[in-house]
Amino acid sequence: MIKKKFFYIFSIFVLLFIFLGIFLVFTDIDNKNSKFIKDNTPYLLKEFLKKTIFLIPIHYREYRNLKENNLILSDKNNLLYLENLRYKNLLEFGKEEKFKINLKNKTYQIKKYVLPFFDNKNIYANKTKGYLEIYKNNILVAFGSGKIIYLKKDDLNKGVFSYEIVPNNLLDLNLFDQKIKWTGIKDIKIINDKIFISVTREITKNCYTISIISAKISFDFLKFADFFISDECISLDREIKAFKYFTGYQTGGRMVNYKDSLILTIGDFNDWTVPQNNLSIFGKILAIDLRSKKSRLLSLGHRNQQGLYLINDRKMLISTEHGPKGGDEVNIIKLADEDSKFNKNYGWPKSSYGNHYDVVPINSYTKKNAPLYKNHTKHGFIEPIKVFTPSIGISEIIGYEFSDSKNSYFVSSLKEKKLFKLNFDNDFKNPKIEETLVINERIRDIIFDKRLNKYYMYLENTPSIGILSIEN
């Protein structure tokens, strides 16, 4: 009986301590009750509670406050960085830089011109991404913000930098939130006299997708309208079991023209449930009929396809794809008139040669939905033709045109800031890196000019346009 009474008294005493500690430690509001308790609690008792029972909660509150302050400081630093970059760009646009890269028995020449990227006080509108396309004697540059300019190729060839802004209605369409980094233009493609732009956009509140808009080419004004859009979207408010935050960086958006279709890559938008779902457009490569605008599935099981190149004579695509932590891929996608003719599943998120980022908890949900098997064939998927481990931040891929070889390609990178010359054998297997060109800027896009025998690169850090040629 005495033991029970003692237990009850002790329990009440502990509860009182906990109640008192909650007021002492967690009450931020200086109301009369909390102030009374704090003022009338002996100092030694308060210190004892803080160093014992409530030590962990106190540290947690401190950690939470530090984390919040760090986020605020990070935002401020980012704004200062963008502001400094804006002033630097305004001062330096048009600036020319030249250098050479000597490799084996050839010399590559690089010429760079700083682009007029920043031109207003709204720094959020100045997304540093950009994409290139050739139209007649002009190079079109579409910035991630919606700004479009054109440069004359022959002027650049003579060392003369000049540009013109192409007025358009992109901002009027409210296609993307300027404050969200990953929204905006993802690629441009010109087919005949029409320009197509892939864009990440919000279609309902906090719900995003990839779509294509198009306009008839006119340097007086580009009036864009919807060409392809799906009702399906990925919600920022959805329940995320593996990630604390939805980022949406894994969007894809690359395009190529094949026969009467426009081929589009769509990433998984950081959602593991969609790439293996045949009914979803996410984590896929689609062929969209230019006339009917109807789409058909070319492949599935993709994460974030950043590069796309068509090899007509082989009736296949080469796609580059960001893996998770490591494991960037180069994949071969065979084209067929019948969807069922080839295996078209590339494995993500079941198989990958990369690993989960440290922020991803390895729990039962992760193991079930994204086990990242280090084999594709064994699980019924197509093996990548090439894997970059560690990751190079792979971006675009394009044919190597400086020789008669039909089995060589340039692979550009963001993280490594390099161009890799990739050679395949006659069976289009066993790719090997033959050359590496150090560019020292993130290479977002690369196109080839057959008439002038030159490559044009969108270099993201400056940002600038890079011209790559070979010394005869």
Q: List, as one string, the DSSP characters of 438-459.
A: E--S-EEEEEEETTTTEEEEEE
User: Cβ–Cβ contacts within 10 Å for residue 57, how many?
Assistant: 14
Give the model's pLDDT for residue 291: 96
CA-based max dimension of the chain: 102
What pLDDT is attached to residue 29?
46
pLDDT for 437: 97
pLDDT of 302: 98
Taking alpha carbons only, the member of 101, 137, 150 closest to residue 402 is 101
Full strand arrangement of the beta sheet holding 164-165: 130-135, 138-143, 148-152, 164-165
Give the pLDDT of residue 4.
60
Give the pLDDT of residue 7.
60
Q: What is the pLDDT of residue 252?
A: 95
Q: Model confidence over 192-251: pLDDT tens digits?
A: 999 999 999 888 888 889 999 999 999 999 999 999 999 999 887 665 554 555 556 799
Asked if 318 contacts 364 with a C-beta cutoff of 8 angstroms, the reply is: no
Residues of the chain with pLDDT below 70 are 1-60, 119-126, 178-179, 181, 237-248, 337-340
Structure-token pair, residue 315 = 């009736």
423-427 own/partner pairs: CB under 8 Å, 24+ apart: 424/385
Q: Which pLDDT value is given to residue 257?
A: 97
* pLDDT on residue 348: 97
- Structure pTM? 0.83
